[in-house]
Amino acid sequence: MKEIVVLLLLVSKVALAEPVYITQKNIAYYADTTGDAYRASQCRLDLYYPKGVKNFATVLWFHGGGITGGSKEIPKALTEKGFAVIGVGYRLSPNVKAPAYIEDAAAAIAWAFQHIEQYGGSNRLMFVSGHSAGGYLGMMVTLDKKYLQKYNIDANRIAALIPFSGQAITHFTIRQEHGIQDTQPIIDEYAPLYHVRLDAPPMLLITGDRELELLGRYEENAYLARMMKYVGHKQTHLFELQGFDHVGMAEPAFPLLVKLIQGRTKEITEKK
């Protein structure tokens, strides 16, 4: 009898065990990588996913670094949460200029839409996030629909956009590429604010403390949130993490991202 109880306990532990997570590294997300060594080396992604799980959500994570530095990463705070994480690498300035890195972000998102089902995921549950420059890239691809239209993907299929301290005006690196100082605000086709629209996916804009943030990052996001609401978008929310600067805000922002992914996943999967 004692042996049976022990066996049942072991079976229960196995049944309740967390899924095993697999990481596949350096997947090229452009179909053709010939003829451009820099694109071939930079335009790769790492895929971290729960093996044997069906219809899991996926968050595409774009690293920061001012579009001039950084490399693909899978943040520890997003691991073992029941969903996949895709860490995206992309080309950097000054090796390329806009819109090359925005196009890279779109190509990576398109790859996820086209391939995630092969790993067990659902392309109805695509979340786009990233810190600083990474947040900006996600904002551009989500709000300016032309980048994903190239792949016959409607940007509105993105489940939610959650940028961490993303730039809402034209990115300062793009301005520098045109000889414009970072203290000169510009809103043109390379500004998420330029593409405000009613039918965009749900958005959670997270920034650090307005007095500690980089330049006017909080105010830019506040303006974007205001304009989205002004055009009638009812699912834009702004969250200011008081007491945290531009870099430090990422750590307390991750739990907000995880909570949104879990809540939105439930909302979408329960829809008939």
pLDDT per position as a tens digit, 106-141: 999 999 999 999 999 999 999 999 999 999 999 999
pLDDT bin (cut points 50, 70, 90) of residue 199 is very high
**In this structure, what token pair is assigned to residue 12?**
């229960």
DSSP 248: T
> Would strands 121-131 and 84-88 be described as parallel, antiparallel, or unpaired?
unpaired
pLDDT (tens digit per residue) in 170-181: 999 999 999 999
Check whether 149 has a pLDDT greater than 60.
yes
Q: Which two tokens stand for residue 98?
A: 């806009």
Structural element, H or E, at residue 3: helix 2-15
Q: Report in angstroms the alpha-carbon separations of 232 from 50, 169, 253, 259.
A: 37, 20, 26, 25
267 pLDDT above the threshold of 50: yes
What is the reported pLDDT for 117? Answer: 98
Q: What is the pLDDT of residue 236?
A: 98
Whole-number pLDDT of residue 33: 80
Q: Across residues 225-241, what is the average pLDDT?
A: 98
Architecture in CATH of 22-269: 3-Layer(aba) Sandwich (3.40)
For the stretch 53-72, pLDDT in tens is: 999 999 999 999 999 999 99
Residue with tokens 């105010």: 219
In this structure, the dihedral spanned by the alpha carbons of residues 172, 176, 182 and 188, taken in order and rounded to 10 degrees, is: -60
164, 214 Cβ separation under 8 angstroms? no
Residue 215, token pair as written in the block: 């330049």
Q: What is the pTM of this model?
A: 0.93
* High-pLDDT (> 70) share of the chain, %: 93
Residue 51 banded pLDDT, cuts 50, 70, 90: very high
pLDDT at 15 over 90: no
SS3 state at 183: coil
pLDDT at position 272: 58
The average pLDDT across 240-254 equals 98
Higher pLDDT, 18 or 164: 164
pLDDT surpasses 50 at 97: yes
- The pLDDT value given to residue 16: 55
First to last CA, the chain: 47
Residue 220 contacts residue 257 (beta carbons within 8 Å): no
pLDDT classification of 34: cutoffs 50, 70, 90: confident
Confidence bin at 10 (pLDDT 50/70/90): very low
| pLDDT for the residue 35 | 86
| Mean pLDDT of the 139-164 span | 98
The residue-averaged pLDDT of 66-84 equals 98
Mean pLDDT (the chain) is 94
Q: Is the pLDDT of residue 88 over 70?
A: yes
DSSP string, 124-156: EEEEEEEETHHHHHHHHHHHSTHHHHTTT--GG
Per DSSP, the three-state class of 37 is helix
User: Residue 61's pLDDT is what?
Assistant: 99
